[in-house]
Structure 1
Amino acid sequence: MRPVIPYVTAALLFGLGVYGVLRRRNAVLVLMAVELMLNAVNLILVTADTTVRAQLPHSGQVFALFVIVLAAAEIGVGLAIVLQLYRLRASVAVDEVPLTEAPALVPAERLAAGTAVERPAAGDADRPEGDR
């Protein structure tokens, strides 16, 4: 088997994934582009395993299996972050995420005293105090 075709295909997949990570604004599409890059790496590992099998038996397939497990964990954590981002901002556009803004935290003394923390509902911010 000639390894040139899988290597070129993997390079094209990886390049397409890099383009997706750099140009996409939607966080779900960015995660899909990262998955595309990981699959390109898997293709390279399996192709390298078939071409140099005499020196290292089945090492490329084992590394590919580790990459698949890593990709599954990355998708689980990434989708959890995207869902939380959507709940907080009602958008999953990555350029709308404020990186310099400090999150609103509950004062530590209220948490230590065991005082219940009341948070206004989503539409309560613009209503007067008596209407709540």
Structure 2
Amino acid sequence: MATLTYVYADSTAVLGPLATFAEPHSYDLCATHAERLTVPRGWDVLRLALPAAPPRSPDDILALADAVREGEAPSDDGNDSSSGRAGAHRADSEHAGDRGAGDRPSRAPLDVPPGADIPRRHLRLLREPY
């Protein structure tokens, strides 16, 4: 990965390491497009040294992806890996009528949305309690 930045005043395209923040007239390129970069006639290309492999960072999205991958592994105790609990649907339906109209929400689990029993291998949005 590399970042391409145009310096219009100098008619120069600078190809360097992936930028940590967005700048005007800069574009992130994959390795293939960074290697094939050409510029208009009269322009110069300044190629800065690129790292051989992207450094690993403790980014939140990487931690989230690892957690999702770990959640896909079947457990030995019979719990459903998509909900993390055995009998989740039964427990949710038992608590569905516990709240009155003006009551503060309890800590009872929410109803299982339709289609939740279908195993999914991607992230999905969850409803927020009232």
Instruction: Bin the TM-score by the shorter chain.
Output: under 0.3
TM-score (norm 2): 0.25
Structure holding more helix per residue: 1
Structure holding more strand per residue: 2
TM-score (norm 1): 0.24
Q: Whose RCO is larger (CA < 8 A, sep 6+)? A: 1
